[in-house]
Amino acid sequence: MAKNEPQKLIANNRKAYHDYFIDETYEAGIALHGTEVKSLRMGKCSIKEAFIRIENGEVFVYGMHVSPYEKGNIFNKDPLRVKKLLMHKYEINKLAGKVAEKGYTLVPLQVYFKEGRAKVEVGLARGKKLYDKREAIAKKDQRREAQQEFKERNQ
C-alpha cells in the first residue's frame, strides 16, 4: 500500500458533534482480531452508542459494534466486546487528567483505515446543554436558508 494513500472512513459519530463540544482530538489504534478487521474493511461498524474509558492506565472503547464476518464462523468474536485502544502513555496520562476534571468525557468520533491499520479518532468532549443544542440547530437552519436564497438568486 502507498504511504500517501487517503484514509478510508468506516464509521462516523455525528451524534457526538450534536451532544458535545469537542475540545481536542487524538488518533488511536484498535486491538482487533482477524475477522473483526475483515468486517471493518467491509464497513460493518457502528459507534453511535460507543464511549471510552481509561482503566489502569489503558484505554478501552465500550459499545462499538463490529458486525460478525459472514465467512468467519467459529472465529467470530462478540460484536460488542470491549476493545482496547492503543495510545502513547503520555497521551493516556494527559487524557486521564482532563477526564478527572468536571464535565469532560471521551467519545469516539470516527473509525477509519490509515495506511492499512484501523484507527479511531478520540474526542475530548464537554457535554452541551439543551440551549446550546438549540443554538446549533438554529445556526444550521440559517445557513441552509441562506444557501437556498443564494441558489434562487443565481438561477
> What is the distance between the alpha carbons of residues 12 and 33, in angstroms, rounded to a whole number?
21
Helical (H) or strand (E) element with 125: strand 117-127
CATH no. for 8-128: 2.40.280.10
Quick one: which of 45, 77, 36, 78 has its CA closest to 64?
Answer: 45
Give Cα separations from 90 to 53, 68, 86, 109 (angstroms): 16, 34, 12, 21
pTM: 0.71
> What is the distance between the alpha carbons of residues 16 and 109, in angstroms, rounded to a whole number?
7
Task: Locate the domains of the chain by residue range.
Answer: 8-128
Classify 36 as helix, strand or coil. helix
Is the distance from CB of 112 to CB of 8 less than 8 angstroms? yes
β-partners of residue 111 are 11, 120
| Cell reading at 126 | 464537554
> What is the distance between the alpha carbons of residues 31 and 113, in angstroms, rounded to a whole number?
13
What pLDDT tens digit does each residue of the chain (155 aa) get? 455 556 777 878 888 777 788 888 888 888 887 778 878 888 878 888 888 888 888 889 888 888 777 776 666 666 677 888 888 988 888 888 888 877 788 888 888 888 888 888 888 888 777 766 787 788 888 888 888 877 777 76
How many Å from the N-terminal Cα to the C-terminal Cα in the chain?
45
How confident is the model over 75-96, as pLDDT tens digits? Answer: 666 667 788 888 898 888 888 8
